[in-house]
Amino acid sequence: MDLYPLRWPFFDAHHRALAEDLRAWAARELGGLAEREELDPDGVARELVRRLGEAGWLRYCVPAAYGGVHARVDVRSLCLAREILAYHSGLADFAFAMQGLGSLPIALFGSEELRARYLPAVARGERIAAFALSEPQAGSDVAAIQTAARRVQDGYELVGTKTWISNAGLAHQYVVFARTGPGKEDLTAFVVDAHAQGLRVSSRIRTLSPHPLGTLTLDGCRVPATHRLGEEGEGYAVAMRTLDTFRATVGAAAVGFARRALDEAVRHSRQRVAFGQALSDFQLARWKLAWMATEVEASELLVYRAAWAHDCDAGRGPQDSSMAKLYATEAAQRVVDEAVQLHGAWGVVAGSTAERLYRDVRALRIYEGTSEIQALVVGRQVVRESARQEVAR
Ligand SMILES: Cc1cc2nc3c(=O)[nH]c(=O)nc-3n(C[C@H](O)[C@H](O)[C@H](O)COP(=O)(O)OP(=O)(O)OC[C@H]3O[C@@H](n4cnc5c(N)ncnc54)[C@H](O)[C@@H]3O)c2cc1C
């Protein structure tokens, strides 16, 4: 991460301290992971959760009362951590982010007993967390969820399929969203232990870049009533509040990938000689570098504004975080693509940093709400605001 943004007014002294300490740790600890990530993503992901936990970084994923750092999870800290980790390793960013995404529903809606049981262990990196919302027929359209939770004695019985689930097969527990009524948003969230009877990882899915992912089958899976998060029918709110907290952090990871691509491209173009001069001395190359730098900083501004607005309750609702995710992930794709172009053939060599970034950045425009869904949120808000102003005039 560049140090300049830390001077922006969105940050307090403790944010700057976190960024400096984590930058030093990541530079020391995360070098040389890339090759192992490709060969053994599950093993490296498990190891990263343990090491992030031991070093204390996962404490940013849970509230202070349960072993965390801040009274409530601080989105600026999550964004700084994701940007810095993504700069060094896509899988380190993944390991960190999933501990947060998979545990925030418990922090926000869990009983005291559930929080005390799961959150400190997540913060120490001793339990791996997961968030199971998507289904084969329900991705963007969350209200199409078919997994059903039926009341039985002492609890619920879950039947259905969850797919594209990060950490499937690695997680110690899953936050599972299931239908408890006929209404579109009649969903309820549960914490389901990985060893619960009737839950199995029915397949693993290989993706463009190393990312532990799989499908869960819930076949009469028994869940105690005490493992329900919030009230029956509150699951849609559990999902949306969690995703709204994490949306800007996906933008931050995109910034980390993009800034790394920019740094690599600048370094390469200064060293590469063509037609008797450094590539970086050609105006056309500088035009590319100028746009890459501008898009990285514009993304950072949107991401950290959204994070600040969330932490300080100063925002306009989901619009800020949707705009940040939309812009930062789309811009990162363009920046990484230009970095590959500036590297010439070296940019497509398997295992090179530019090639790895090209693969790492792609999924960010899809998960936790696709770019199109973010655009729908922003567009709806823009039109509503215009109508509101018309009425007020
Ligand atoms: C690497 C990775 C990790 C993931 N991890 C998790 C996880 O841990 N837990 C989890 O629950 N899910 C996870 N997902 C799933 C992810 O959240 C979904 O893939 C995402 O929500 C999109 O759903 P879908 O794939 O079903 O696409 P669809 O919803 O079928 O969308 C297909 C295309 O149609 C577009 N589209 C959809 N609706 C509209 C519309 N109204 N207007 C215009 N265009 C539209 C979409 O933008 C997209 O381009 C992960 C996905 C990936 C790739």
Confirm or reject: Cβ of 375 under 6 Å from ligand 1. no
Atom of ligand 1 nearest to the CA of 167: 8
> Rounded CA gap, 67 and 372, in Å?
37
Atom of ligand 1 nearest to the CA of 177: 11
Active-site entry in 83, 185, 368, 390: 368
Map tokens 């729908």 to a residue: 376
Compute the distance from residue 276 Cα to the ligand 1 centre, in Å.
48
Mean pLDDT computed over 112-123: 98
Report pLDDT for 184. Answer: 81
Report pLDDT for 55. Answer: 98
DSSP classification of residue 279: G
Compute the distance from residue 237 Cα to the ligand 1 centre, in Å.
18
Q: What angle do CA 51, 57, 63 make, to 5 degrees?
A: 130
Mean pLDDT computed over 54-65: 98
> Rounded CA gap, 56 and 123, in Å?
8
> Going by CA atoms, what residue is nearest to atom 29 of ligand 1?
140
Percent of the chain with pLDDT over 70: 100
Best CA proximity match to 206, nearest among 30, 36, 40, 46: 40
> Rounded CA gap, 63 and 311, in Å?
13
pLDDT in tens, 193-207: 999 999 999 999 999
> Rounded CA gap, 148 and 160, in Å?
6
Compute the distance from residue 281 Cα to the ligand 1 centre, in Å.
42
Q: Per residue in 157-186, is it b (16+ CB within 10 Å) or e — as a string?
A: bbbbbbbbbbbbbbbbbbbbbbbbeeeebb
pTM higher than 0.85 for the full model?
Answer: yes
Q: Per residue in 290-327, is it b (16+ CB within 10 Å) or e — as a string?
A: eebbebbbebbbbbbbbbbbbbeeebeebbbbbbbbbb
Confirm or reject: Cβ of 253 under 6 Å from ligand 1. no
Q: Residue 27 CB: number of other CB atoms within 10 A?
A: 12
> Could you tell which of 99, 133, 134, 329 is best to mutate to test the pocket of ligand 1, judged by most ligand atoms within 8 Å of the CB?
134
Confirm or reject: Cβ of 359 under 6 Å from ligand 1. no
Report pLDDT for 27. Answer: 96
Confirm or reject: Cβ of 289 under 6 Å from ligand 1. no
Does residue 316 surpass a pLDDT of 90?
no
Mean pLDDT computed over 104-111: 98
What domains appear along the chain, each with residue ranges and CATH number? 4-123 (1.10.540.10), 129-233 (2.40.110.10), 237-392 (1.20.140.10)
Compute the distance from residue 392 Cα to the ligand 1 centre, in Å.
37
pLDDT in tens, 15-55: 999 999 999 999 999 988 888 888 999 999 999 999 999 99
Average pLDDT, the chain: 96
DSSP classification of residue 138: B
Report yes or no: 263 and 138 within 8 Å, Cβ to Cβ. Answer: no
Mean pLDDT computed over 337-363: 97
Report pLDDT for 185. Answer: 85
Active site residue 231: no
Confirm or reject: Cβ of 353 under 6 Å from ligand 1. no
pLDDT in tens, 147-192: 999 999 999 999 999 999 999 999 999 999 999 999 888 999 999 9
